[in-house]
């Protein structure tokens, strides 16, 4: 990313930074803000079973008529002295791997300058993201899900450390429901510029890391509430890599039970 693009990206997110400039872990109100956007995957290249992306790292599974995806992760603690003014998001969702909508909920670990900011959000992209009024702190175990029934998506998110929960529903008329994802992301500005990735060190996903049962699972027309690995050749391991070939976030292999993995930060 050039210096000029970075200046533009930061300028467009100043309103967001001001809105969330608070003691790390405090809740934010549930309202639409100038938040970073969590859009579809930006593909760099694909080989069988593995892809590189400019903005996503983690795992996706592809199929037809997805109706459910569930995840768990620890809220990563960001090192803002190392990467000031940067952003990172961790979420579960349906769609976005190869289509133009994403129905998702997650948490963010951002750096407002050198101050860490942690918060929860949901997004029915291309609609804007919305913050969730719940306390989020580094190390918290988050359980989250997205489901589809009767033309409507429902997201739910639960902080196992505080007991806080949130649920809401919405309609995304153009959703294709062709993938489910468990992702660490470098979010974007509303104009589509990918923001620099905060140093989150490691993001831990799935039952083996969180002891949250039934995660990371999904349901589509052929698999009923099954772990990532059960989707076989439809499993996509995603490495975040710049168009210049710099690896920014790298997932491990799936655990032996097919549910869990980590994503390691490498570069902005």
**What pLDDT is recorded for position 25?**
37
Q: Which residue has the tokens 């090192």?
A: 79
CA distance 182 to 207: 13
Across 71-91, average pLDDT: 98
pLDDT digits (tens, 9 = 90+) for 165-199: 999 999 999 999 999 999 999 999 999 999 999 99
Task: Give the residue, 30 or 10, on which the prediction is more confident.
Answer: 10
The CB density around residue 110, as the number of other CB atoms within 10 Å, is 27
**pLDDT confidence tier of residue 49, bands split at 50, 70 and 90:** confident
Coil, helix or strand for 110?
Answer: strand
Coil, helix or strand for 220?
Answer: coil
**What pLDDT is recorded for position 13?**
54
When mean pLDDT is compared across 33-42, 55-64, 109-118, 155-164, the lowest value belongs to 33-42
**What pLDDT is recorded for position 243?**
86
Query: Cis omega before residue 184 (within 30°)?
Result: no
Burial 115-126 (b: 16+ CB within 10 A, else e): bbbbbbbbbbbe
Quote the mean pLDDT of the chain.
Answer: 90
* Model pTM score: 0.90
Share of residues in the chain with pLDDT > 90 (%): 84
Across 36-44, average pLDDT: 97
Which domains are seen in the chain, by residue range?
Answer: 3-265 (2.60.120.700)
């Amino acid at each position: 990313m050039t210096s000029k693009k970075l200046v533009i990206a930061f300028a467009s997110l100043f309103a967001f930074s001001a809105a969330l400039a608070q003691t790390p872990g405090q809740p934010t109100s549930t309202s639409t803000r100038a938040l970073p956007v969590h859009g579809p995957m930006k593909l760099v290249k694909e080989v069988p079973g593995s892809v590189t992306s400019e903005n996503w790292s983690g795992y996706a599974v592809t199929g037809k008529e997805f109706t459910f995806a569930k995840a768990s992760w620890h809220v990563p603690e960001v090192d803002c002295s190392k990467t000031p003014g940067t952003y990172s998001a961790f979420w579960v969702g349906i769609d976005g791997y190869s289509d133009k909508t994403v129905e998702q909920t997650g948490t963010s670990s951002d750096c407002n300058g050198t101050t860490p900011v942690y918060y929860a959000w949901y997004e029915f992209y291309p609609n804007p993201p919305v913050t969730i009024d719940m306390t989020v702190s580094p190390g918290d175990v988050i359980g989250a899900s997205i489901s589809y029934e009767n033309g409507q998506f429902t997201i739910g998110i639960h902080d196992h450390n505080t007991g806080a929960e949130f649920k809401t529903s919405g309609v995304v008329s153009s959703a294709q429901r062709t993938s489910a994802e468990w992702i660490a992301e470098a979010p974007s500005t509303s104009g589509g510029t990918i923001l620099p990735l905060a140093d989150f060190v490691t993001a831990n996903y799935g039952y083996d890391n969180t002891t949250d049962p039934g995660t990371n699972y999904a349901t589509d027309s052929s698999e009923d509430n099954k772990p990532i690995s059960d989707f076989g050749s439809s499993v996509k391991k995603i490495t975040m890599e710049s168009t210049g070939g710099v690896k920014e976030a790298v997932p491990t292999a799936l655990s032996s039970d097919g549910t869990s993995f980590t994503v390691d930060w490498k570069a902005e």
